[in-house]
Amino acid sequence: MQNQLSLANWKITNPSVIKFLIKIKRPMFLLFILLFMVYFAIKSVVYFADNTPAVLDSENKPGGDGSVSFTPFPSFMKPASNLNKADLPMFNAGKALAHQPWIKAPTITFARDGLGPLFNARTCLTCHVNGGRSIMPVKGDTRLDTAFLRLSIPGVDTIHGVIAEPTYGDQLQSQSTSLAHMFRHLKGLKHSVAPEAYIFPNWVYKNFSYADGTKIQLRETNIKLTKLGYGKMHPETMMGLRNAPPIHGVGLLETIKQADIDKLADEQDINGDGISGRTNIAWDFEAKKPVAGRFGLKANKASVRLQTAGAFHSDMGLSNPIFSSQSCTENQLKCNNEITGNDKEGTEISKRQLSLVVDFIKNLAVPKRRNAEKTSVLAGRSLFYETGCASCHNPSFTTGDDKDFPHLANQTIWPYTDLLLHDMGEGLADGRPDYLATGSEWKTPALWGIGLSKKVNGGQNFLHDGRARNVEEAIIWHGGEAEQTKQRFTKLNKKHRTELIEFVNSL
Ligand code: HEC
Ligand code: HEC
């Protein structure tokens, strides 16, 4: 397009060209134009061929041999299809622990109590709906419980990654076991332990215009907190909203050899492509040493097990073998004095219960591709490579060994992530560092299954805080290291933009 335009300008402004054109006959002129068109067509085909790898059969099964079909019931809670039949009862026991609500202690059953006193939700799957992501309220003045705020104050702590806000801790819990909170409609009830605050997304809207004039609306949060339960926060408190990401396929991601991820890192951007992924270094609370982070939106968790133990502790207020305290800070006296649901192992979650949930999460299947053979999807696939998406959304890995779950080992998988941190610019920054990740760095999320979000979760809420309502909005928010790629996307014509989005939705 650009070349044709400049040719037109050159024609009009240069009188000697006009003389030349008058001299030669019309057919000659048409032949000239034809040759030009053939030249550009060949050039673009060669360019695509350079950037777009051949389609492989394995792409249809992004989760390797364990990939599952998602008809007729779309859900990310299915077991990998190659999970040993003998392991299915274990999978289902873990699912029950992740799915059924936990309750306040004391109760007659030790097995399911200990919730809170402060918490965000009663089950893992309240937030990870059907194993997928959580849904943001459409209206800005609806209360948020399934996404939460991370809190910290300036300073460095290589073990915890951040220095927690002194009164509220490093995560704002919007619920408590207090009757006054649970029966909010009943007047006169007093809080035993007050929730820390109620969170509202308070959406702010703006428009974005493409070069071709197409307009879309974007929204972002302008978090509003009400009913702060424990007085003012530290004046320098940094806050970061986190929407629950999908959790299928994390077992496969865990088996990838670190060396294969390190190969993709380019911290100093030596290849000069403007993209410089790097590894976050998080603390392994079991091995008691720093290790590469792979889970969490800023890759601040070392393993699925640590992520799960952290979720039990902070998201549901359940002490466990790795994080054995209640999630109350020293300044929350009533919270510390509440009755616990500790069992004979001295915590609310036993070793066995923790392992069951970890194993359940690790075996959640990845969906097979849909519409992968469609012409428009294949065209979108080329554009995905062409515009540079694949530089961060690294298409494929081969998994390493897994002695507990051999079916997860040595699989060719297509997650579309490099599991590295990238600076995504001011528009996406939360200004809150975590271990090595700066306030504007985020881990590239896997894209497998993203096209099923609406069916699985009942809505689409993409990016770390769920602001994007579809793939297109998510792309437009890309900045920083992804700015050039985003620009290339916005310069595509509408047909090509639609094809690229169709490809992402086929993953
Ligand atoms: C209150 C909502 C909520 C609950 C309850 C919850 N999660 Fe999460 N989960 C999140 C959020 C938000 C993140 C991202 C956190 C971050 O990066 O800071 C997350 C991240 C994860 C991840 C990392 C995924 C990835 O790709 O990096 C896993 C695994 C996970 N949760 C498992 C669990 C399990 C298991 C439970 C139950 C024991 C649980 N979650 C309970 C909200 C929740
Ligand atoms: C520089 C690295 C980089 C490039 C290039 C890049 N992305 Fe991303 N992408 C990310 C990161 C990091 C996030 C998470 C940002 C956040 O949550 O704030 C993300 C998020 C997304 C999401 C939302 C996923 C979710 O689960 O919320 C989609 C969709 C997406 N990218 C698609 C694309 C497409 C399509 C392209 C090419 C046009 C592209 N990205 C280019 C790094 C990149």
> What string of DSSP letters covers 194-233?
--S-EEE---EEEEEE-TTS-EEEEEE---EEE--TTSPP
Calculate what percentage of the chain has a pLDDT beyond 90: 82
Atom 9 in ligand 1: which residue has the minimum CA distance?
244
Tokens of 378: 């294949």
Q: How confident is the model at residue 398 (pLDDT cuts 50, 70, 90)?
A: very high
Across 16-25, 39-48, 280-289, 466-475, least confident range: 39-48
Between the alpha carbon of residue 440 and those of residues 12, 298, 478, the distances in Å are 48, 10, 11
**Per the domain annotation, does 496 fall within a domain?**
yes
> CA torsion, points 453, 454, 456, 460, in degrees to nearest 10?
50
State how many domains the chain has. 2
Shared domain for 118 and 28, answered yes or no, is no
**Is any atom of ligand 2 closer than 6 Å to the C-beta of 474?**
yes
The answer on pLDDT for 213 being more than 90 is yes
**Is any atom of ligand 1 closer than 6 Å to the C-beta of 296?**
yes
**Per the domain annotation, does 57 fall within a domain?**
no
| Mutation probe of ligand 1 site: the residue of 97, 125, 199, 247 with most atoms within 8 A of C-beta | 247
Q: How confident is the model at residue 258 (pLDDT cuts 50, 70, 90)?
A: very high
Between the alpha carbon of residue 282 and those of residues 193, 195, 288, 290, the distances in Å are 32, 29, 10, 6
SS3 422: strand
Atom 1 in ligand 2: which residue has the minimum CA distance?
482
Residue that is written with structure tokens 């006009």 in the block: 18
For residue 394, give the ligand nearest its CA.
Answer: 2
Beta strand extents in 357-434 (DSSP E only):
397-398, 412-413, 421-423
Mean pLDDT of the chain: 91
- 448 touches 416 (CB < 8 A): yes
Alpha helices in 107-242 (DSSP H): 124-127, 179-182
* Residues 76, 80: Cα–Cα separation, whole Å: 10
pLDDT at position 30: 72
Shared domain for 158 and 87, answered yes or no, is yes
**Per the domain annotation, does 407 fall within a domain?**
yes
Predicted confidence (pLDDT) per residue in 284-306, tens digit: 999 999 999 999 999 999 999 99
**Per the domain annotation, does 475 fall within a domain?**
yes
**Per the domain annotation, does 297 fall within a domain?**
yes
**Is any atom of ligand 2 closer than 6 Å to the C-beta of 388?**
yes
Return the closest-CA partner of residue 283 out of 252, 259, 307: 307
- 411 touches 402 (CB < 8 A): no
**Is any atom of ligand 2 closer than 6 Å to the C-beta of 278?**
no
**Is any atom of ligand 2 closer than 6 Å to the C-beta of 482?**
yes
Q: Which helix (H) or strand (E) holds 36?
A: helix 26-51
The answer on pLDDT for 21 being more than 60 is no
Shared domain for 365 and 315, answered yes or no, is yes
Shared domain for 118 and 237, answered yes or no, is yes
- CA of residue 438 to ligand 2 center, whole Å: 17
The answer on pLDDT for 403 being more than 50 is yes
Give the pTM: 0.91
Shared domain for 109 and 167, answered yes or no, is yes
- 336 touches 317 (CB < 8 A): no
Shared domain for 309 and 456, answered yes or no, is yes
**Is any atom of ligand 1 closer than 6 Å to the C-beta of 308?**
yes
pLDDT at position 62: 98
Compute the average pLDDT of residues 467-480: 98
Atom 38 in ligand 2: which residue has the minimum CA distance?
389
CB atoms within 10 A of CB 419: 26
SS3 331: coil
- 306 touches 254 (CB < 8 A): no
**Per the domain annotation, does 149 fall within a domain?**
yes
pLDDT at position 67: 98
Beta bridge partners of 171: 150
**Is any atom of ligand 1 closer than 6 Å to the C-beta of 127?**
yes
Q: Which domain does 181 fall in, by range?
A: 62-505
For residue 383, give the ligand nearest its CA.
Answer: 2
Residue 8 identity (one-letter amino acid): A
- CA of residue 99 to ligand 2 center, whole Å: 29
Compute the average pLDDT of residues 25-50: 58
Q: How confident is the model at residue 9 (pLDDT cuts 50, 70, 90)?
A: very low
Shared domain for 382 and 428, answered yes or no, is yes
Shared domain for 356 and 242, answered yes or no, is yes
Predicted confidence (pLDDT) per residue in 407-418, tens digit: 999 999 999 999
For residue 303, give the ligand nearest its CA.
Answer: 1
Shared domain for 26 and 172, answered yes or no, is no
Compute the average pLDDT of residues 477-504: 98
Shared domain for 14 and 148, answered yes or no, is no
Shared domain for 133 and 276, answered yes or no, is yes
**Is any atom of ligand 2 closer than 6 Å to the C-beta of 504?**
yes
Compute the average pLDDT of residues 205-222: 97
pLDDT at position 12: 43
For residue 448, give the ligand nearest its CA.
Answer: 2
The answer on pLDDT for 320 being more than 70 is yes
**Is any atom of ligand 1 closer than 6 Å to the C-beta of 121?**
yes
- 111 touches 55 (CB < 8 A): no
* Residues 163, 152: Cα–Cα separation, whole Å: 5
**Per the domain annotation, does 56 fall within a domain?**
no
Atom 3 in ligand 1: which residue has the minimum CA distance?
127
Atom 33 in ligand 1: which residue has the minimum CA distance?
308
Predicted confidence (pLDDT) per residue in 166-190, tens digit: 999 999 999 999 887 777 766 777 7
Q: How confident is the model at residue 43 (pLDDT cuts 50, 70, 90)?
A: very low
**Is any atom of ligand 2 closer than 6 Å to the C-beta of 387?**
yes
**Per the domain annotation, does 336 fall within a domain?**
yes
> CA torsion, points 41, 42, 48, 51, in degrees to nearest 10?
-150
**Is any atom of ligand 2 closer than 6 Å to the C-beta of 136?**
no
CA 17 to chain centroid, in Å, comes to 56
Compute the average pLDDT of residues 421-439: 98
Shared domain for 297 and 331, answered yes or no, is yes
The answer on pLDDT for 498 being more than 80 is yes
